Amino acid sequence: MSFPVHTLATAPEASRPLLEAARQTYGFVPNLLGVLAESPAALGAYLGIAGALDRARLTPAEQQIIAIAVSAENGCPYCVAAHSTIAAMVKAPTAAVDAARKRLPVDDRKLEALRRFAVAVVRARGRLNDGDLKTFQEAGYDRGHALDVFALVALKTLSNYVNHLADTPLDDAFAPQRWDLSVGA
């Protein structure tokens, strides 16, 4: 199903200030945000969670590993490509990004615990067992970090599902990191 990718000129009035703020932040309006602009509430929710994650205790690199792992698990080529691009910008370890894109274990023990925990949240729909949290904590994370992961999973679930529904076209800025669901890379 195809949805319009709104611009500042075509978006509903209530979405325009949000798109303008995104344009100023990113230098362009990502297609996902153009799609979300159809609903000012959905766009506001996405940007609100994304903005709140600026206060997360997870590093920008850790956040990108989670975003890639969740998006790969949910089969979202748009978000895997977008977050792989952002991961390079925040200097996330290339090997960890590549592993997360391929849904494979990460060599770094702590990042692997993070990736595995995020994927477990998605697969179990939040109904984790005690071992999942214990392994996560043994890697050096705490309950606050776990809640940050849940917030990222919520953000990526929203964007992944919107991209599935709308068949959001990949932005040129993310094209070098294109990801194909059929090969997982």
Q: pLDDT digit string (tens) for 112-159?
A: 999 999 999 999 999 999 899 999 999 999 999 999 999 999 999 999
Angstrom distance (rounded) from CA 52 to CA 29: 19
Which pLDDT score is estimated for 2?
79
pLDDT over 70 for what percent of the chain? 98
Q: pLDDT digit string (tens) for 70-103?
A: 999 999 999 999 999 999 999 999 999 999 999 9
Which pLDDT score is estimated for 181?
79
> What is the DSSP-derived secondary structure letter of residue 168?
P
Which pLDDT score is estimated for 184?
56
Which pLDDT score is estimated for 1?
65
Which pLDDT score is estimated for 183?
59
The answer to whether the CB of 100 falls within 8 A of the CB of 69 is yes
pTM (predicted TM-score): 0.95
Which pLDDT score is estimated for 77?
97
Residue/partner pairs of 120-129 with CB below 8 Å, 24 or more apart: 121/70, 121/149, 121/150, 121/153, 122/70, 122/73, 122/74, 122/153, 122/157, 123/73, 126/150, 126/153
